[in-house]
Structure formats: structure tokens, C-alpha cells
Structure 1
């Protein structure tokens, strides 16, 4: 049986980042993936994820600034542009752009707070219903290429990658762990990092985690999200389209240039958390809800005049959400858990990998906001 110092389960953005950081520190690492890295059934496929600094909480904005240095390092190592600058606009009564602007001001991030008319004059392809926050340093992450790049960096530092290796269970004995696949193969590890995303609900009870850890694990849900690509009106330059987040009462939408996924000719638009809830990723069916499609088309007709309101492509993807939308990055005995990331984790990938390596090796820690143990201790103190 093969044996490794660290085995990482899941080769999406978080898992590949963890494998990269662990291998780069000189550790013996294996990366296991149930299919292939960044495959379409996971949360890290495709070429279009939003990179942004705008958060109502300074905590997350400060973490994006740290993560940005990790993206710069990855670009330097690979020679690839993994984030394409487009800028971002945030608006809507629930989004509260003035609050976002205050956070960016505190963190020293370039931004403008515009009236709806000022924004309309600049981006006539979008109809705005409130003041608008603009920050030009936002962009679009190529998720698939980012995963491939981090996997390549891990391999360059000696990591082994096992594809089509779906974990069925993890058992502990005498301080080490045996990972068994659904077809009966086994691999041994002194430490395990689990970055299973939407498959975590199916795996959670089979990971040899302490009962006290599982007892306090927060409830979370897996959603099969739906996204649509709408063609740009003739003559529109895709480079003029920013990413956007629009939050108003009863509706939250987001959009971004679709890049390679959209043949570079359309904007990706979706209703935030508009998909059905699944027991786990294993139950996804890839089917689009006709009701959801109609809602998004109606939204495009009303708010996005720069798009033809007829989607030419559509897809599903997975969001795995905690009740607070905070991440879970924690460790119990020799097992580190890296998910869920609540639909906004992509931009933090290099930093999540660093956190995972720090936690798994015992050389550092992570913010209490991500720790189950710290949250339990805090609750017990009251």
C-alpha cells in the first residue's frame, strides 16, 4: 500500500491549493480526485469566477488582499494570466454600496461611489436602481486553468496525483489513516486534508472524525446553481463589461464576462442561491429549472439592456453553503477540513491552501471565524 505524509482529498481550487502549498514546503503529498481536476461535476470548473474586494465585512476584504499576493505569486510561477481585469459594480438596496465603499476606503482599495445616473452614463448596458460602487481591481478568475496550474505546481514539487480515485471512507489506526476508494483501493496517510466540496455531506460520517467535532459541525446545504450565457448586443465589446452583483429585496443576481465558457461572446448571469437544495453533490442531475430560467430572462430584460435576453448556453454548478456563509477550515486530530466555502471561496484559493498547510502541519493557524473548535469554546464561555 502506498503511504504519504499528507493526502489531500479533492482536486478543486481548495484541494489543489493545499497540495501545492504542502508540496512546496517539502512534504510528501498525494492528491486524490474522484474524477479529474476541476471536472464539470464539481465547484471549480470553467473559466469564469468573480474576483472582487467588495465585502460588507472588512475581515473578508482584508483576506482578499492577502489572497491577491498569492495569485500574483502563482502567475509569476506559471507565467499565466489567471485573473482578467474587468472591474466590478455593486448596487441594489440590499447590497448597500455606500457600506462597501466605506470598507474599501478603510483598506485603501481604489474605488468610486457613483450615482445611478453617473453609472448609467458609464455603463449604458446596465440599468441601475441605486448608487453604485465601482472598484477597478476586480476581475474574472479562470477556475479551470487555476486548478491546473496549482496541480502542476504541486507535481513540480513532487506531489503524486491520483485521478478517478473516489474516497469511500477513511479509517484511523495507531495514529495513521487508511483511505479506501469505492472500488477497494487503499492509500495510507499520516495526515489527511479533505476538500470535498459538495461531496462532504456524503463523506462526513465516514472520516474517522471525533464525535465532539462532528456534533458541533454546522448545518450546511448543497445547491445545484444555474447560470446562463446571454449574447452581447451587436457591436458590444466584451472588455467593456464589468462583473456585477445586484442585491435588492427578494432578488440577488450576479454576472460576469463568460470568457472561454461563453465563447467570449456573452455575459454569464445567475440568480444567487436560486438552485435546488441537494442531499449532496452525488444527487445533482444537471437539469435546468424552467422557472429559474424564466426569472433570469425577465431580469435580463429589465436590468441588462446590453444583452440579448435569450440565453444561448446554460449550465449548473455547485454551491455548498454554511448558515453564515463563512468558510469551514479546521482540524481534528490528523484530519483537516477545507469546506464548504459558501459560493465565494474561489477568490481566496491560494490563501485557503496556505491556511490548510499551516493547520495541517501545525506551523500556523487560521482565523477563529473559520474554526469549529474556537466557535464552540466561545459559545461555552457564555
Structure 2
């Protein structure tokens, strides 16, 4: 068995640490702040788990990930995914094409007219065109999932160190040394870097071959905005998640969970524009400030499209997306260092599966999918 340092304790790092520790490896997780903290990409209780991908590769991957979520929930003894179903609509979403993918992959679904969908979900204004419904979709409790995976990792012997920001990785004999702010170090045979929005700042200084670094896809960190809108009437059951794509705007929404609970314990619907935020050089440049123009745009969208919500946000937050140009993930490495950047704004739903892929890659048991590799 090998010794590992995992840099970062968000969803990806927690999943990788758990999957390695359960195989008997010695694992130390170094987290710059606290696991799933609000400055990263894995905080809060509301991330969409959906099957709606135009690419069958990702739709199949969701089905595979759902099995991993089931196992994680069983081992953790808690519910981490709440089933709500999901709606896809809008001319740029092409629900009919998504339905064809669902048929190919074997995902239960209904393709409805806008009128039929409006009769079932009057809280939406679907406009014209088809609406796709798939009932197996839901909401992932991101922070609880991080906590559960780290707890299971600790049970298998892993150490999780908070307040340990890694500034660089150095060669140390046959292994590596992670250097933290303040000069503290941690040595291991192998390193996994799951640093999210901090990866662009770390990557150039890693002891990796120049050819690998040159081939690494450029990363664009986005400070995204999300808003919580109150329901006009208390819903008898959770709203479905949704993705509405038009030539003008791509919006997603989901029940907000604990992220913005009201005094009576209820929460509103979380609404955001996909990649509608501000580009950053890396996570260190984030301000946590909401873009007023984006707030106005989303409020106008809610007023126009979601009659079941009061078009006045009662809470708002920011979050980081770390995008590759293709929105594919990166899982690859060499010389004992594995880099994992599975975000691009849609990685949360795959977390336990990605942890297994990262563990397989770093141990050499199985290569990652070719499209996740940096070099062929």
C-alpha cells in the first residue's frame, strides 16, 4: 500500500480520500480552510443530480454515479440525494434530442407539450415547444456528502487536516513533499491535487513534465451568483429541478434546502444563470460580491418565467466554477502526481464515482476515460 496526500477537501478531494482509504492506503487530506467551506465549490445543501446530457457519455456516467451514491448513502447511514425529478425546456435545450439520449441510455422520461407540462406544473411558464421530464433526478446535499465521505475515510484511517493551505509540491526522494503556508510540510509517495479554483495558481509550480503542463487545458475560474426566491404558496412537495436554455440565457433552478432556510423552516427555490458570473484568474481573487446586473437579469427572468415564485430574492450567494474549454473534467497525472479538476459547473453529481476514478488513476489500477486525460 502507498502513502497519499490529497490537496483539497471539497467533493472531489473527499471522494478521492475515501476511495483510497477504503482500499487500505495511508491518506492525509490537507484542506486550506475547512471542508466544503463557502469560498470553494462544494458548500451548501443544493446541487442538481440530473441525467439530462446531450452527450450519451455523460448520461451513462450519471447512471453509474447514482449507483455509487446509493452505496455511499448506505455506508454513511444518511440520505444525501433527495429525489425531485427534473424538467428541461427552451429552444436551445432541445428536449426532443435529450429524450433520444434517454431512450438510448435507458433513462425513464416523458416528452410533453408545453400545455401538458403547464397543466402539471403551473408554477412554470414553459412558453412553447416540448418539455422533458425525468423523475429519477434530484438534489445532492453537497456539504453533507463531503462530511460523510471524510467521516468514512477517517474510519479507514485517513487524517484530515484543516487550516493547511498548500503553497507548493516538491520532490522528496522517491516521493513528494507538500509545503503549506507557514512552512509546515507533509510527505507522501503520491499526491492528488483537487484544489478546485486554486488549481490555476498551483499548477505551474508543480513538479510535472513540461509536456504535461503544456498540454493541460486552460482553466477559467468563474465567480457565479445564485439567488433564493420564496414560493408564492407552500408547495405540497418539492419543486422539480430544471434547466431552461434559450439563445439569451441558460438558467437552472432547484429546491434550496438548508442553504437559505426561512424562519419557519421552509426554503425557497435556488435560481442561477449558468456561467453568468465574473471571470477570475483563480480563487484567490474572489470577492463574494453579487453582480447587481446579474441579480436584475435573474429577477426579471423569475418574473417572466416562474409565476410560482415571488420575484424578490430573499438570499443570495456566490460559488466558484472552474471550467475547461470543453466542460469535460480533467483526471490525469504522471510521476506520482494526479491532477483532478472535475467541475466546469456540473461535477457535483458525479462525486463518489469520480473519487473511484481518481483512486484508480493514481494507483495505476485503471486509466481515466480518454476524454478526461491531458495527454493521449
Q: TM-score, normalised by structure 1?
A: 0.96
Alignment partner of 1:121 out of 119, 122, 129: 119
Root mean square deviation, CA, Å:
0.9
CA–CA separation in structure 1 for the residues paired with 2:344 and 2:118: 31
Given candidates 270, 283, 286, the residue that maps to 1:284 is 286
Query: Contact 1:198–1:340 (CA<8 Å) still a contact in 2?
Result: no
Indicate conservation of the 8 Å contact 2:227/2:313, yes or no.
yes
Is residue 168–residue 206 contact of structure 1 (8 Å, CA) maintained in 2? no
Q: Work out the CA distance in 1 between the residues paired with 2:209 and 2:31.
A: 24
Classify the secondary structure of the residue corresponding to 1:70: helix
User: Which residue of the other structure, out of 93, 102, 107, is the alignment partner of 2:105?
Assistant: 107
Aligned mates of 1:54, 1:188 — CA distance in 2: 42
Cross-structure match for 2:219: 220
2:82 aligned residue (78, 81, 84): 84
The residue that corresponds to 2:13 in the other structure is 15
Which of 62, 65, 73 does residue 64 from structure 1 map onto? 62
- Structure 1 residue 340, shift from structure 2 partner: 4.5
SS of alignment partner, residue 329 of structure 1: strand
Change (3 A) 1:340 1:51: closer
Corresponding residue pairs, total: 370
Distance in 2 between the 1:236 and 1:172 partners? Answer: 56
Regions of 4+ moved over 3 Å: none
CA contact (8 A) 1:32 1:166 kept: yes
* Counterpart contact for 2:221–2:280, Cα < 8 Å: yes
Residue in structure 2 matched with residue 201 of structure 1 by the alignment: 200
Partner of 1:378: none
Name the structure 2 match of 1:337: 339
TM-score by length of 2: 0.97
Is the Cα–Cα contact under 8 Å of residues 330 and 341 in structure 2 kept in the other structure?
yes
Q: Is the 8 A contact 1:7 1:32 kept in 2?
A: yes
Aligned partner of 2:318 in structure 1 is: 316
Rounded to whole Å, the distance in 1 between the matches of 2:234 and 2:216 is 51
Alignment of 1:94-173 (within 5 A): 94-129=92-127, 130-173=129-172
Partner residue in 2 for 1:174: 173
Aligned pair 1:260/2:258, yes or no? yes
Listed as ranges, the gaps of 5+ residues in structure 2 are: none
The aligned counterpart of 2:274 is: 272
Shift of 1:79: 1.0
Cα drift, residue 54 of structure 1: 1.1
Are 2:220 and 2:281, in contact at CA under 8 Å, matched by a contact in 1?
A: yes
- Tell me the distance in 1 between the aligned counterparts of 2:271 and 2:63: 26
SS at match of 1:225: strand
Gaps in structure 1 of 5+ consecutive residues: 375-382
